[in-house]
Amino acid sequence: MTDNLLQCGNILSLAAVDLCLALACGLLVTDAWLTGKDATPDAQAAARIPGLIWPASLLLALLATRFYLITSTMTGHAEVAAVWAAASGVAATHAGAATVWALGAACGLSGASFLPRSRARVRLQTALLLTLLVLHSGMGHAAGGGDFTRDEMWQFVHLAAMSLWAGAVMTAGFFAAPRMLAAASCIDIHYLRNLSQVSLWSLAAVALSGAMRAWAGLDARIANLLQGGWGRILLAKLCIVCVVLLLGFMHRRAIHAHGKAWTLPQYMQFGRTLRIEAVCFVVVLFLSAWLASTELPGS
């Protein structure tokens, strides 16, 4: 397996892990909104959002793939026998141990999806998702300066906020909103207000933690933004984030301007632009994975 193929596999698998984590967060919080006291009785039936079993199971397979790729990269051998022989040594490293523990948490998240619906199940799934986000924070550049550092803390804040924000928007754009429109020709207004509020607070956390991580990644020199691959990828990511911010502003303004007096064309237009925002988030997550797999300026 060539270095280019390994690099490509690392980027794609990391992007897929980020996507699964975001969707799991989005599905969990959306389910809570649609079953809350403010939701209309038909909201959940109309939305028909999927459960956590499929992102959790896919996450399990992806993390196993990630461990294989990490081991192949560290040893320089892609053969299964060589990877298996080196697995225990790789598992003793910080990134390897984080991946192994994440595999266990993903297995627990998948198993918890089969439990009957209850507050205990939601609390367990939330705890496992937070554990996965903490462990995932120790698998990239943030772990380069040591174990459990300030960089890893900022990375966790960034990952958690981005997963919540992106996951909520993707769940709304790909699942909940289109199905509500198809079933009832409207989108539950309480659901939209919850989505708007969570997006606003997540944006604040993403902006703060992202600025801290980017400044450290650029070696405290803004000129590095245009030098090297890492800076250019970051610039591309920031451009897509600007599109997301513009769409989010439009959506928040529409939610508060229309109140409950929406027309069907307004709902349809909102659903289309929400889907565009969800696609933009998929691109952002891919670029984030590319950043995490690219050498930092000055390294």
What is the CA 210 to chain-centroid distance, rounded? 14
pTM of the model: 0.88
Q: Which of 24-38, 72-86, 240-254 has the lowest mean pLDDT?
A: 72-86
Inter-residue contact 134 to 154 (CB < 8 Å): no
For residues 172 and 239, give the distance between their C-alpha atoms in angstroms, rounded to a whole number: 22
In this structure, what token pair is assigned to residue 290?
Answer: 């590319």
Query: What gap in Å lies between CA 162 and CA 25, rounded to an integer?
Result: 10
- The matching CATH number, chosen from 1.20.120, 1.20.1630, 1.10.3470, 1.10.10, for 3-292 is 1.20.1630
In whole angstroms, give the CA distance from residue 267 to residue 275: 12
9-38: pLDDT as tens digits: 788 888 999 999 999 999 999 988 888 766
pLDDT per residue as tens digits for the range 128-175: 999 999 988 876 655 555 555 677 788 889 999 999 999 999 999 999
**What is the C-alpha to C-alpha distance for residues 117 and 124, in angstroms, rounded to an integer?**
11
